[in-house]
Copies of this chain bind each other. A is one copy, B any other.
Amino acid sequence: MKLLVQKDFDYNKVVLPDKELINSHLDKYLEIRYPQLIWESIRYSVLADGKRIRPLLMLESARICGGDIENVFPIACALEMLHAQSLIHDDLPCMDNDDYRRGKLTNHKVYGEAIAVLAGDALLSYAPKVIIKHTPDKVDKKVLLQVLEEFLKAAGPMGIVGGQVVDIESEEKEIDFATFNYILSHKTGELFKFAMRAGALLSGATEEKLEALSFYGKTIGYAFQIADDILDVTGTLETIGKTPGKDQNSKKNTHVSLYGLEESKKELEILCINAQQELIKKNINSPLLMAIAEQIVARVLK
């Protein structure tokens, strides 16, 4: 099986309108209020130039399932806020101690550690509040509560936080595949899976479609993290927007440190092929999802 490449598909051009809609919704939800400092700090990180891959996946998932994307924006933006939160706290001196992120100084480098901690805390509560306040009234309350519960699960100790804790515990230790798998799926896989599930659930998807899109999301999330691990070795501050070589310096367990660069590249490609094949098998026609799987590989191999 090979990775399928679509000719004449201009990824950046295709996603631009959705990216602009996501950014304008984020801008609206994060309008500056009193006390100004915390909103400025939040906006600094959330509105920084990013790929917006998680919300883009959610919008596409809703479209595939015939849903109204207006229903999805609050949750899509909440997911991006959650992602930014995890980056702000991950970058803190007591965690990964990073100076650069998305091509700019990290939040605590600009606003200080106390405000960076509080900006992350603020986002953790404000993101689910946006979901409740801004999701259109026509969305069934039971579905909304289900999506909200899955969101909170993905954010907390059974999600990102759990992955982060095991990651910290595993530093400078030899770990087995199950442990590495736990870190990878909880730090990245679950959020990508949630993006696909939320779009599908809000659009009344069939169980079969929901399963296929969940599989795609989880697989792409894995691939995305492996790509990140590879780029930490092969990238530069300019190409990846953060300091390269950090994983190795902090003796983190990454796919590359465990399996080597070549093996990681192979695994990355297999995952993206599997994600594409799942869509084909289940008759899900989405040039965008096909292209995203392809782009993750292209970003690393070029």
Contact = CB atoms under 8 A, between A and B. Distances in A.
Contacts of A159: 125
A221 interface: no
Interface residues of A, number: 49
A74 to B, nearest CB: 12
B38 A115 contact: no
A261 interface: no
Contacts of A113: 94
How many copies of this chain does the complex contain?
2
Closest 10 CB pairs of A and B: A125-B156, A94-B113, A129-B152, A125-B155, A122-B157, A124-B124, A141-B141, A122-B161, A132-B149, A126-B156
What is the interface of chain A mostly: helix, strand, loop, or mixed?
Answer: helix
A157 B199 CA distance: 27
Interface stretch (A7-15, A164-172, A187-195, A204-212): A164-172
Interface of A: 33-35, 37-39, 42, 85, 89, 92, 94-95, 112-115, 117-118, 120-122, 124-126, 128-129, 132-133, 141-142, 144-145, 148-149, 152-153, 155-159, 161-162, 164-166, 168-169, 182
Contacts of A158: 33, 126
Contact of A128 (B37, B112, B121, B128): B128
Contacts of A122: 156-157, 161
B166 A152 contact: no
Contacts of A38: 157, 161-162, 165
Contacts of A168: 114-115, 118
Contacts of A34: 162, 182
Contacts of A149: 129, 132-133
Given A35-B166, A169-B35, A117 B89 contact: yes
Contact of A145 (B94, B95, B141, B153): B141
A34 B32 CA distance: 39
A39 B166 CA distance: 12
Nearest to A96: B114
A117 B34 CA distance: 25
A285 to B, nearest CB: 34
A192 B89 CA distance: 28
Nearest to A85: B121
Nearest to A122: B157
A114 B132 contact: no
A158 B124 CA distance: 13
Contacts of A126: 152, 156-158
Given A121-B156, A122-B156, A145-B145, 12 more contacts: A33-B157, A34-B162, A35-B165, A39-B157, A115-B165, A115-B168, A121-B121, A122-B157, A124-B156, A128-B128, A128-B152, A129-B156
